[in-house]
Amino acid sequence: MAARVLVVDDNLINRKLACSLLTMEGYVVQSCEDAEEVLRVLPLGAPDIILMDIGLPGMDGLALTRLLKADPRYAELPIIAMTAFTMKGDERKALDAGCNGYIAKPIDTRQLASQVQAYLDEAERRKAQLKVMIVEDHRIDMKLAGERVRLSGHLVLSNTTAEQALESLSRQHPDVVLLDLNLPGMDGLSFVKLVKQDPATAMLPVVAVTAYPDRFQREDMLAAGCAAYLVKPVEARQLLAALEEALRQAPDG
């Protein structure tokens, strides 16, 4: 089945050019001229990828991207920024807003279709990955856990405090959380209680890790809702087995 592409651009000439090029390559293409139109058409059927002009009138492309990425229905939808304003820092701003990539204008008519396909292929690879949120304030432990998760082919979402992790949950939508319990500020136990009290995250599996088993006891953490409990130092096989088991035990939805 042909991939569906939504082209969002207020410039009629640019919009028609992108649509024509992609249609000739076999894509099913739809277009919108502003954020309001995008928000009207998306609930009728989401595309496989959005090409998003940054300089839209009214709500600009970056603000629209942030809005879509905060919506669970569209959080995984690839959004590729397109802009003629290739000033220093524009690419970083687009990525920070949640865009999955960046294509500069004027469009390279010979490369547009291959660029779109590359981003679609990347999105398919991401679907096969688990998103593992690691909440760890110790730099070496964060690096070690992150390397082990990445070597297993999964995506790492790093947070150094419980407060940061809570704020990130609605944007990053992890599949599982690897949680150090002895954190600065809010500790891991308080984090787990808040996660489990929120209907939006109550089913999210959490694997607790601690170097202080006397302070954070296994029974307390499991009672709070953790799916597994590990004591540092943790071997790679033990860590990955705990993450996989936590996911298997997680209720659907």
CATH number reported for the structural domain that contains residue 242 in this entry: 3.40.50.2300
107 and 171, same domain (yes or no): no
Spatial separation of the C-alpha atoms in residues 3 and 22, rounded to whole Å: 10
CA–CA distances in Å: residue 98 to residues 11, 58, 151: 23, 19, 24
Provide the residue range defining the domain that includes 38: 4-127
80 and 19, same domain (yes or no): yes
Give the residue, 91 or 165, on which the prediction is more confident.
Answer: 165
pLDDT at residue 75, rounded to an integer = 87
23 and 107, same domain (yes or no): yes
Spatial separation of the C-alpha atoms in residues 186 and 144, rounded to whole Å: 23
224 and 158, same domain (yes or no): yes
Encoded amino acid at 225, one letter? G
Spatial separation of the C-alpha atoms in residues 104 and 208, rounded to whole Å: 43
**Most distant CA atoms of the chain, gap in Å:** 67
User: Which burial class, exposed, middle or buried, applies to 237 when counting CB atoms under 10 A from its CB (0-12, 13-18, 19+)?
Assistant: exposed
Contact 38, 64 (CB under 8 A): yes
Using DSSP's 3-state secondary structure scheme, residue 31 falls into: strand
The percent of residues above 90 in pLDDT, for the chain, comes to 77
152 and 184, same domain (yes or no): yes
Q: In what order do the strands lie in the sheet with 28-32?
A: 28-32, 4-8, 49-53, 79-83, 101-104
> pLDDT at residue 191 above 60?
yes
**Averaged pLDDT for residues 195-211:** 95
Contact 191, 183 (CB under 8 A): yes
Encoded amino acid at 200, one letter? A
**Residue where a domain terminates, one of 79, 99, 127:** 127
**Residue where a domain terminates, one of 127, 143, 165:** 127
> pLDDT at residue 89 above 70?
no
**Residue where a domain terminates, one of 72, 105, 127:** 127
Spatial separation of the C-alpha atoms in residues 144 and 142, rounded to whole Å: 6
**Averaged pLDDT for residues 110-139:** 91
Tell me how crowded residue 246 is: count the other CB atoms within 10 A of its CB.
20
* Confidence label for 253 from pLDDT (cuts 50, 70 and 90): very low
Using DSSP's 3-state secondary structure scheme, residue 183 falls into: coil
pLDDT at residue 1, rounded to an integer = 77
**What is the value of pTM for the model shown?**
0.60
- Give the chain's domain count: 2
**Averaged pLDDT for residues 113-134:** 89
146 and 100, same domain (yes or no): no
Q: How far apart are the first and last CA of the chain?
A: 27
78 and 191, same domain (yes or no): no
182 and 207, same domain (yes or no): yes
pLDDT at residue 134, rounded to an integer = 98
Spatial separation of the C-alpha atoms in residues 138 and 239, rounded to whole Å: 17
40 and 101, same domain (yes or no): yes
Spatial separation of the C-alpha atoms in residues 72 and 118, rounded to whole Å: 24
> pLDDT at residue 97 above 50?
yes
97 and 194, same domain (yes or no): no
The answer for residues whose C-beta is within 8 angstroms of residue 200's C-beta and 6 or more apart is: 169, 170
How high does pLDDT run on average in the chain?
Answer: 92
35 and 98, same domain (yes or no): yes
Buried b (16+ CB within 10 A) or exposed e, 171-203: ebbbbbbbbbbbbeebbbbebbeebbeeeebee
pLDDT at residue 252, rounded to an integer = 58
* Confidence label for 83 from pLDDT (cuts 50, 70 and 90): confident
pLDDT at residue 212, rounded to an integer = 95
12 and 121, same domain (yes or no): yes
